[in-house]
A and B are shown apart, each in its own frame.
Chain A
Amino acid sequence: MPPVAAASSTTRVHWSLVFRQAVLEATAAFALALLLFGPIVGLVLDGYQVRNELQRPLLIAAIIAAGRFLVTLAMHAPTGQAALERFNARRRQPGVLVVNASESDRQRWWLLAIVAVSLTLPFLASKYWLTVLIQAMIYVLLGLGLNIVVGLAGLLDLGYVAFYAVGAYGLALGAQYLDLGFWSALPLAAMLAALFGGVLGFPVLRMHGDYLAIVTLGFGEIIRLVLNNWLEFTGGPNGVSAPAPQLFGLEFTRTAKDGGVPFHEYFQISYDPLHRFIFIYLALFLIVCLMVVVVTRLRNMPVGRAWEALREDEIACRALGINHVLVKLSAFMMGAMVGGIAGVFFATYQGFINPTSFNFFESALIVAIVVLGGLGSTTGVIVAALVLTILPELLRAFADYRVFAFGVLMVLMMIWRPRGLIRPRRRAFEVKGLCR
């Protein structure tokens, strides 16, 4: 509750009153926390009996009450007031940071350093960390793709995992039924995913924003359920295997399987199973770099500007003559295509896929990446994807709390910085030859 007896720095604070209020609020918070956590956290179901664990809700309630007490006190002190002011001011900041056009480009050296580190990292990493890096890269790609849809065009897509699944199953089923290899399946699966995006997007993009979220969610679940139930075609919950990638016909296996030549024999080096992962990582890295360039370029093109304009004010855009359905559709298909590419890489890296990899939690995780990274900021999304995939590996002991922490983070971010940690930047144009 915001402080009722507002004490600005000029008026004197009546500490006895403040103290009384703090005690009252802390008591109320304690009672509410007991009501909320008492049964759910304190009485654990064990068969048809309950096990008494009431010390847990008591502890939680005590912490909440203490916190409430301190917050109430702090909110009445001048420093607390000032902090609240700063907090509110930050929330009111405009979404996009406009950088002056004449500002010199210092980021270029940083970029070079990052690329160099990313290229050497896989050769130093162990197998375990290599797989973590590949996963992180897949999420970076997914984050970049969804960022086009959610961050730039402002369309909340809760079924993004559907396109990921289309890409992954495109590779696996394409190999099984059409005898496609990795490199021929990659563009085809990407196009297939884009097609799915178009087919889904065309009817639904005229919809109100929240409805769109639910329809995409429904669509994601439909895809997963169909993959799960269509036993004859997809193998159902048993999954299906996906082919490993090749480098110009060279295979990353110990002995050649399909009449090809193994990579290590061709280059006369000893066989190492890591070669396959290093290759996947490097290919992924290349695609991610390409995506970053494409997205950066697109944002300065008319279609990219139309995406962001639609996000900010759809009615104004339509009044200015932007075809909102086509513009949204382009964002949607673009995002779907990137999701499909990520799916192909996921399938080839895993070697085996089944529908459980494409549940709603996966969609929520990608949304979390985009939200935490700052809706629309490419740098932010990359950082968020890396943090959200690598941090849980470092904090293995708290693995059970991962989803819980994501949820809390999502709520806090929306309250604290609804535009994400890193504000999207946009370079201003300087029009020369105009008098001011």
Chain B
Amino acid sequence: MDWHILAQQLVNGLTLGSIYGLIAIGYTMVYGIIGMINFAHGDVYMLSAYVTAISLATLFSFGLDSLPFALLVTLVMTMVITAAYGWTIERIAYRPLRGSTRLAPLISAIGVSLVLQNGVQLSQGARTQGVPSLIPTTLRFGEGDDFVQITLVQLMIIVISLSSMAALTWLIQRTSLGRQCRATQQDRRMAAILGINTDRIISSVFIIGAAMAAIAGVLVTLNYGSFDFNIGFVTGIKAFTAAVLGGIGSLPGAMLGGLILGLAEALFSGMVNTDYKDVFAFSLLVLVLIFRPTGLLGKPEVEKV
């Protein structure tokens, strides 16, 4: 095994891992606050890929030629629209189920997931869509055949994900909204008694999660260039694996879990077998849930009567 192959897989793994981390935030925050797995989150991410492509194509068709400006507008547009989806889904499919049976929100979430996938398929067609390669710049290290390359988009992915995670940490740790989120997560009823509008906080958690997934969607679309209505499923489970790996309910855990999963998957597909990389990720999920359900940074869950 040459060092450059290893280094290349590390670069790829880091890129992949940042994406998983961004999507995992949506799972982990929602689970932390209302204790449900938002099964539709992967499909929210899928929607953001579509919005990205639509927004870019629309902007270019208006004759916009400044690429940074187009990307910025697309990022903001995608975050706003995807966040609106996050809010609406919570409002329609989850809020009426508060205090219902334990399975109800999960089944409702599966329903939402089917609706989103099929809705996109019906309106946009079933074929694979794409965006042109906009930023072809590639940085190369090494000489001859032994080199490690990192595309500018990959660099952007790592930088933007790390900075959005930093911004989110600041939001949760330092602002009033973040304090309310943490209070609601600790004890929803007590937070409500102390005058926190917990419904509003839950909505904002869905909005934040969807916005983070939107950032991931924009970046992935720029990186891979192609997507279809089905991408949310596998990516969603993997991001959930990342959230569980890091300890569900914990923000730094989501980022850590994402990076570890991304690196593990890249190394596995680079060194062992590409066909079984999804099997590897799912097995990791099963194993973590069996042997360490609290994850790396999570707190043990105490069942109360």
Contacts and interface: CB of A to CB of B under 8 A. Distances in A.
B290 A415 contact: no
Interface in A304-357: 315
A45 B50 contact: yes
Contacts of B130: 48
Interface stretch (A99-107, A247-255, A396-404): A396-404
B120 A40 contact: yes
A210 B283 CA distance: 17
Interface in A193-242: 203-204, 207-211, 213-215, 217-219, 221-222, 225-226, 229
Interface residues of B, number: 72
Interface string B271-305: 00001101100110110011001000000010101
B148 interface: no
A130 to B, nearest CB: 29
A217 B115 contact: no
Contact of A218 (B53, B111, B282): B282
B111 A407 contact: yes
A403 B301 CA distance: 36
B282 A403 contact: no
A59 interface: no
B285 A210 contact: no
Given A210-B106, A375-B103, A408-B111, A403 B118 contact: yes
B92 interface: yes
A40 B103 contact: no
B40 to A, nearest CB: 10
B60 to A, nearest CB: 8
A150 interface: yes
B221 to A, nearest CB: 11
A210 B92 CA distance: 21
Contacts of B286: 204, 215, 218-219, 222
Nearest to A312: B101
A229 B233 contact: no
B305 A414 contact: no
A210 B36 contact: yes
Contacts of B105: 414
Given A211-B289, A367-B107, A415 B57 contact: no
A211 B293 contact: yes
Contacts of A43: 54, 57-58
B276 A410 contact: no
Contacts of A208: 293, 301
Contacts of A400: 122
A154 B51 contact: no
A215 B289 contact: yes
A407 B93 CA distance: 11
A225 B276 contact: yes
A414 B84 contact: no
B289 A39 contact: no
Contacts of B283: 218, 222
B61 interface: yes
Given A40-B54, A43-B54, A225-B276, A407 B61 contact: no
A95 B96 CA distance: 18
B289 A404 contact: no
Nearest to A217: B237
Given A56-B123, A203-B290, A407-B115, A45 B129 contact: yes
Given A48-B130, A209-B102, A411 B54 contact: no
A215 B108 CA distance: 18
B88 interface: yes
A39 B81 contact: yes
A36 B279 contact: no
Contact of B107 (A50, A401, A414): A414
Interface in A89-148: 91, 95
Contacts of A158: 110
Given A211-B293, A219-B286, A44 B93 contact: no
A279 interface: no
Given A45-B50, A214-B37, A414 B100 contact: yes
B97 A410 contact: no
A398 to B, nearest CB: 11
Interface string B108-127: 10111111111110111100
B20 interface: no
A222 B290 CA distance: 16
A36 B88 CA distance: 9
A49 interface: yes
A406 interface: yes
A36 B108 contact: no
A213 B106 contact: yes
A407 B112 CA distance: 6
Contacts of A185: none
Q: Which 3 A-B pairs have the closest CB atoms?
A: A410-B111, A407-B114, A407-B115
Given A210-B31, A214-B37, 20 more contacts: A40-B120, A40-B123, A41-B123, A45-B124, A48-B132, A49-B57, A49-B61, A154-B103, A156-B107, A204-B290, A213-B106, A214-B240, A361-B114, A401-B122, A404-B118, A406-B114, A407-B111, A407-B114, A411-B111, A415-B93
26 contacts: A36-B88, A39-B50, A39-B51, A39-B58, A40-B54, A40-B119, A41-B119, A45-B53, A154-B103, A156-B107, A208-B301, A210-B31, A210-B106, A215-B289, A217-B237, A218-B282, A221-B282, A225-B278, A229-B276, A367-B110, A375-B103, A400-B122, A403-B114, A414-B105, A415-B108, A418-B101
